[in-house]
Structure 1
Amino acid sequence: MTQHMLLLGHTLLFSGNPLSQNWEDTVSIDSTGGVLIKDGHIAEVGSADALRKAYPTAQITDYGDALICPGFVDAHAHYPQTAIIASWGKRLIDWLNRYTFPEEMRLSDPDYAREIAGRYLDLTLAHGTTTVSSYTTIAPHSVDAIFDAAATRGQRIVAGKTCMDRNAPEGLRDTAQSAYDDSKALIDRWHGKGRASYAITPRFTPTSSPEQLAALGTLWSERPDCLMQTHLSEQVDEIAWVRDLAPHARDYLDTYEEHGLLGDRAVFGHAIHLEPREIDQIAGSGASIVHCPTSNTFIGSGLFDMAGLAARYIPIGLATDTGGGSSFSMLRTMAAAYEIGQLRGTPLHAAQLIWLATAGSARSLHLHDKIGSLAPGFEADITVLDLSSTPAIAQRANNAETIWDQLFATIMMGDDRAIQDVWVGGKKRT
């Protein structure tokens, strides 16, 4: 018989969406809580005393004043860009040409792709991230590499072959047909196997011809259980480029919409400079948007309208967007989201930030019935935060009036030292 494991400490609990309801009514912390794990899943959540009494033979880990959270969910990343993170000072299109495309060419070597995939997942796990949705390269083996590396670590993973058939170096271009064929074969090989989910992945309109977008739209209609992830309205010069490439389109979103690439399992990264029609269409379709704050500031893209889009009940996730984003840490990403909210006059509370990095991101990836919350039946992906991980944070925590003040200090100043433990599928990472 599998032994129960009981984690004790402050437990973070969700009962709703704090972006559309009062955070006080939807997010709480039980200071004497416990999480019971069995067979890789959360069996019960409740008071420490009650769980101790009900399961006297459970193996106990007492985290004291630490905060037991759902594992962080990074809803938009580019694992092939791991080695070029924090490369100096370019706008999006120049950055792609100078740094991204040459590095992605290096992953044409399967051994290098496997090395980077493992390195990426280890770096993110060290920062408390237990699920990630990643782009790859045009090479099918780059998709295999990240799925294989995640399976080895027991992680939940979303990924897909990044398709590009124009405006990219020759070694990084496929075709409309090969994009369809390769993606279909990869779906058959990986989607729904273990903890893997496939996302059909056109990089973005500038690098996918109408023929390729149409082919991927056809594939999605054949496999609607997959996600579809791409980029949308990240920078104003990108939008101008799309307008030149597709002068007939009503807006940027229309270049996807006309090829069947808009629906409730669509996930659009960035979405900063949206037109009113685009917002209406996204809201009506049920599609998700992913906020990438460190990337948006690092590459100078703009200020995401969290409050405005949340008011339309659009599912919103949070992401590092590494390597355009400048950190592997979801704590740093939460801090950047707070800072962007301040610049827009709509700062987010710590409860809203931690929800975005867990349950919100899980919802954006249609995984909210599996991960993102501490609730019975959910997969036991858990991150434990030390709320006094450095002298600077500890002195602030010692003067905090509430645990929310303590958590906020860790969000704003924390790094991998704040990650006390990570549990993946009910197994503690060592």
Structure 2
Amino acid sequence: MFIKGNFLYTPSRTELTIRENEYAHIEKGIITGFCKEVPQDNQEEVVDCGRDIIIPAFVDLHIHAPQYINRGLGFDEELLPWLEDYTFPAEKRFADPDFARRVYTAFVRRLKAEGTLCFSAFATIHKEATWQLMEIAEKEGLKAYIGKVNMDRNAPDYLLEDTDQSLADTEELILRCREEMQRVRFIATPRFVPSTTEKLMTGLGRLCEKYDLPVQSHLSENRNEVAWVRELHPDLPSYTAVYDAFGLLRPQQTIMAHAIYLSAEERRLLKSKGIYLAHCAQSNANLSSGIMPLRRNLEEGLTCSIASDVAAGHTPAMNKQIALTIEVSKLYALEHEKEKALTIGEGLYLATKGPGRFYGCTGSFEKGYAFDALVIHLEDIEGLERTPFEKLQQYIYDGDDRNIVARYVNGKRL
């Protein structure tokens, strides 16, 4: 298949490639290269997208599927009371499989509409509801890591798990996912250190080792949370060290969301293990958590990406998350001389190829990458035709799902 259009993608954080009026060649869902003209003897399908821009589909490495129903609620509170008053009561409802299916169907379809075609999601503690989320994502054609949340302490009674049962349910889902899913993969999901006992973290670490699992959790989001972890584990030097002690800081296979309040030693450890740090600027602003020093982390070689963190982030639209992250970085730079604001190109990278590496070769249009793409249409006013780069900027700041006229995963139009 050949697709003609204006392609924009980021081979690296500091490189934005723009290919105007070129043809991408896709074979078995994989990009083989670009050309200016289709070969005269071509027998393959040709799709002409005209003046539309084509960008890699978005990748969101930190989102809470059950919290989709709560977006926009409770932002007068900070993290810990917000969890108690809004998040936990909402997650309780997912004990009802029928309710879970309705919500998860709406959630996955919203992601697809907004162009997030690969994601890593927290479900809830409920095994059946988690499986439904996996089934729906698979059926809708998306790529995903999905995890059953593990919680056996410091939670309401209705979300408090028996430790052994939590581990058994987790292992059952691991095996079932491997047998029945193609694009959806299981990811170990301890909610965060305060809600998981040492026994549970030890058990999850062993499952990760046994099945070579990735991990997702939260790290240093809120000052009160960090202090709480210090009280719970006074024998360990840091929040990051707790995960490491229980085998939950798996090299190149771990996503830690937020990571705002890190010591130099924690940053060194996270860098050495290639941990993915999901930067959730909108969420951190909504819950008054703080601002990750994104530029410093990037310059020090830490692996960062932009994520929505719905529902602490109030929209799953990743173009809006890019815009907000850039805006926050500009404000942060005003108060920190060594901080340079994020650029559009960097923002695109941190929402496509950067996080896409966690899943595999997705998030770019380089040779050998899966063709996961969004075709975006913005009206040209006669006499004011915009360049592809200008269209990209306007879509990031003012676009929405109505501008996405086609979505592709592995070369297949959804």
Label 1:335 to 1:71 Cα distance change in 2 as closer, same or farther (>3 A).
Answer: same
Residue in 1 that maps onto 2:101: 114
Which of these residues, 211, 217, 238, is aligned with residue 230 of structure 1?
A: 217
Residue in 2 that maps onto 1:391: none
Pairing 1:329–2:317 present: yes
Which of these residues, 368, 373, 376, is aligned with residue 385 of structure 1?
A: 376
Pairing 1:10–2:1 present: no
- Is the 2:295–2:341 contact (alpha carbons within 8 Å) kept by the matching residues of 1? no
**CA offsets 1:265-286 (integer angstroms, 9 cap, x no match):** 1110111111111101101112
Which of these residues, 231, 240, 248, is aligned with residue 244 of structure 1?
A: 231
Label 1:304 to 1:133 Cα distance change in 2 as closer, same or farther (>3 A).
Answer: same
Residue in 2 that maps onto 1:419: 404
The aligned amino acid for 1:353 is: G
Residue in 1 that maps onto 2:56: 70
- Is the 2:53–2:391 contact (alpha carbons within 8 Å) kept by the matching residues of 1? no
Label 1:310 to 1:123 Cα distance change in 2 as closer, same or farther (>3 A).
Answer: same
Contiguous gaps of at least 5 residues in structure 2: 334-339
Residue in 2 that maps onto 1:197: 185
The TM-score, its normalising length taken from structure 2, stands at 0.93
How many residues are matched? Answer: 404
Q: Secondary structure at the match of 2:352?
A: helix
Which of these residues, 112, 115, 138, is aligned with residue 125 of structure 2?
A: 138
Which of these residues, 17, 36, 55, is aligned with residue 25 of structure 2?
A: 36
Question: In the TM superposition, what is the alpha-carbon distance from 1:249 to its structure 2 partner?
Answer: 2.1
Q: Secondary structure at the match of 2:109?
A: helix
Question: In the TM superposition, what is the alpha-carbon distance from 1:44 to its structure 2 partner?
Answer: 2.6
The aligned amino acid for 2:217 is: T
Q: Secondary structure at the match of 2:26?
A: strand
Residue correspondence of structure 1 range 139-288 to structure 2 within 5 A:
139-191=126-178, 193-224=181-212, 226-264=213-251, 265-288=253-276
Question: In the TM superposition, what is the alpha-carbon distance from 1:48 to its structure 2 partner?
Answer: 4.0
Q: Give % identity.
A: 29
Q: Quick one: distance in 1 between partners of 2:391 and 2:31?
A: 28
Please identify runs of 4+ aligned residues in structure 1 that moved more than 4 A: none
- Is the 1:70–1:372 contact (alpha carbons within 8 Å) kept by the matching residues of 2? yes
Q: Quick one: distance in 1 between partners of 2:178 and 2:265?
A: 33
Q: Quick one: distance in 1 between partners of 2:41 and 2:406?
A: 22
> What's the Cα RMSD here?
1.9
Q: Quick one: distance in 2 between partners of 1:182 and 1:71?
A: 32
**CA offsets 1:185-229 (integer angstroms, 9 cap, x no match):** 1111114830121111100011111221111112112122x2111
Q: Quick one: distance in 1 between partners of 2:372 and 2:295?
A: 29
- Is the 1:351–1:404 contact (alpha carbons within 8 Å) kept by the matching residues of 2? no
Question: In the TM superposition, what is the alpha-carbon distance from 1:13 to its structure 2 partner?
Answer: 3.6
The aligned amino acid for 2:25 is: L
Question: In the TM superposition, what is the alpha-carbon distance from 1:68 to its structure 2 partner?
Answer: 1.0
Residue in 1 that maps onto 2:337: none
- Is the 2:295–2:342 contact (alpha carbons within 8 Å) kept by the matching residues of 1? no
Residue in 2 that maps onto 1:368: 360
Contiguous gaps of at least 5 residues in structure 1: 389-393
- Is the 1:359–1:368 contact (alpha carbons within 8 Å) kept by the matching residues of 2? no
Q: Quick one: distance in 2 between partners of 1:361 and 1:54?
A: 38
Q: Secondary structure at the match of 1:189?
A: helix
Q: Quick one: distance in 2 between partners of 1:241 and 1:384?
A: 46
Q: Quick one: distance in 1 between partners of 2:6 and 2:176?
A: 40
Q: Quick one: distance in 1 between partners of 2:36 and 2:131?
A: 42
Question: In the TM superposition, what is the alpha-carbon distance from 1:167 to its structure 2 partner?
Answer: 1.3
